[in-house]
């Protein structure tokens, strides 16, 4: 089983295209490419 990214686990909606991205902004963790795979997830998730 793969690990979930934090935005999948918390369902915050702040990932790109998420339901709260326009209202609250996109979370930096969901777009930081330099940490790709650091925690076995996407970007820094």
For the chain, give every domain's residue range.
1-45
Predicted pLDDT at 45:
66
| pLDDT at 29 (0 to 100) | 85
pLDDT digits (tens), the chain, 45 positions: 778 888 889 999 999 999 999 999 999 888 888 777 776 777 776
Residue whose C-alpha is closest to residue 21's, from 11, 13, 29: 13
Distances (CA, A) of 21 to 2, 7, 17, 38, 40: 25, 11, 7, 23, 23
Residue 22, pLDDT score: 96
CA of 25: how far to CAs of 10, 20, 28, 38, in Å?
A: 16, 7, 9, 23
- pLDDT of 31 reads 86
CB distance 45 to 38 below 8 Å:
no
């Amino acid at each position: 089983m793969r690990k979930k990214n934090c935005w999948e686990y918390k369902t915050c909606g702040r990932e790109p295209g998420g339901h709260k991205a326009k209202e609250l902004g996109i979370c930096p963790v969901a777009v930081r490419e330099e940490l790709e795979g650091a925690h076995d997830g996407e970007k820094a998730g």
